[in-house]
Amino acid sequence: MKPNSAIKNLVNYTMFAVTGLCTVIAVGILFFILGYLIFNGGKSLSLSFFTNLPVPVGEIGGGMANAIVGSGKVLGLATVLGIPIGFLGGVYLSEYSNERVAFTIRYITDLLNGVPSIVIGIVVYAIIVHPMGHYSTFAGGVALGIMMIPISVRSTEEFLSAVPQSLREASLALGAHKWKSIVTVVIPAAMRGIISGTMLDIARVAGETAPLLFTALGSQYWSPGWNGPTATLPVMIYRYAISPYEDWQRQAWAAGFVLLALVLLINIVARLALSKGIYVPKG
């Protein structure tokens, strides 16, 4: 009995150490990535990065101002297109649909979420770029917008479902129409969660590169309006990183640093907002 329990304890402590080590390594990778980008990216970052256009190889002082604006435009359009559909779909799932329909829609939403982003790129190429005859900011926005929908649906539904039933009943008992109680009682109660979910959604597609490769394409110049191809940060990082020129590679680091900082910052703010003093009193 005695030696048996000694072995038991030894195995227990060993596995504690081993699994703990796995976790530490995984978290270590994050700090490694952060450290590397802060070091290499910070070193390459300058004011001209934010204010100048890209310059041809050999010239000094190029920046990615057009890519920063381009990314902003594409993301803005994606948000305007994707979030309303996702949000309303989430409201339907949580407030209107019956269990079986909800299951089907949820399932399809998850499948859409799992479609590789490059495939979304192909489809948007087929339905927008090809008929229009040219690459465009608009097509890039649509591609990212489609990618935003599934996450928006699921997070909206999740936060609406967390609103206590008693709130809905109180509102209905006071004689409010169902839609009115949804709009004035249920949604406001879940607002904080929904906004955080939307921020996480934006952060996720902000780094997407593959669906932009043949929708927004890329450009070395400013791209006014929505009809022309535009530079975006992730695509610029890709193109510059695989180029053989040292100055371009240096700028890829800088751009990577800016992109990562942006994505992680949004993530941290949104997740802290979610974890702190939550949106609804649990009924």
Partner 1 sequence: MSSSVTVPKSALPQRRAQSFISRLKSGEELAYLITVTAAAVIILLTALVLYELIAQSGQARHKFGWSFLFTSTWDPVAGDYGALPFIYGTVVTSVMALLIAIPFGLGAAIFLAEMAPPKISNAMTFLIELLAAVPSVIYGVLGIFVLVPALQKSVVPAIKSVAGSLPIFQGTFYGVSVFSAGIVLSVMIVPFIISVSREVLLAVPRDQREASLALGASQWQTIWRVVMPNASTGITGSIFLALARALGETMAVTMVIGNAPQIKASLLAPGNSIASMIASSFTEATDDLFLSALVELGLVLFGVTFVLNGLARILIMTTQQKGAHK
Q: Kindly identify the residues of this chain, within the stretch 236-255, that bind partner 1 according to CB under 8 A.
A: 237-238, 241-242, 249, 252-253
Per CB under 8 A, 35 contacts partner 1: no
Closest distance to partner 1 from the beta carbon of 32 (Å) = 8
Contact (CB, 8 A) for 160 and 91: yes
Which tokens in the block code for residue 60? 């000094």
Number of residues binding to partner 1, judged by CB under 8 A: 101
Per CB under 8 A, 57 contacts partner 1: no
Range 43-52, long-range pairs (CB < 8 A, 24+ positions): 43/253, 44/250, 44/251, 44/253, 44/254, 44/257, 45/254, 45/257, 45/258, 46/254, 49/251, 49/254, 49/255, 49/258
Per CB under 8 A, 217 contacts partner 1: yes
Stretch that binds partner 1, among 45-53, 68-76, 187-195, 200-208 (CB under 8 A): 200-208
Closest distance to partner 1 from the beta carbon of 272 (Å) = 9
Among 185, 210, 216, 231, binds partner 1 (CB under 8 A): 210
Among 88, 170, 191, 278, binds partner 1 (CB under 8 A): 88
Residues 99-158 that bind partner 1 (CB under 8 A): 99, 102, 105, 107-123, 125-127, 146, 149-150, 153
Nearer to partner 1, 102 or 195 (CB): 102
Contact (CB, 8 A) for 62 and 221: no
Closest distance to partner 1 from the beta carbon of 186 (Å) = 9
Nearer to partner 1, 78 or 217 (CB): 217
Closest distance to partner 1 from the beta carbon of 56 (Å) = 21
Rounded Cα distance between 7 and 115, Å, is 47
Rounded Cα distance between 76 and 44, Å, is 27
Among 47, 98, 175, 246, binds partner 1 (CB under 8 A): 98
Nearer to partner 1, 77 or 210 (CB): 210
The string over 153-169, giving b where at least 16 C-beta atoms fall within 10 Å of a residue's C-beta and e elsewhere, is: bbbbbbbbebbeeebbe
Stretch that binds partner 1, among 34-42, 61-69, 71-79, 188-196 (CB under 8 A): 34-42
Among 192, 204, 228, 247, binds partner 1 (CB under 8 A): 204
Binding mask 220-239 for partner 1 (x = CB under 8 A): --------------x--xx-
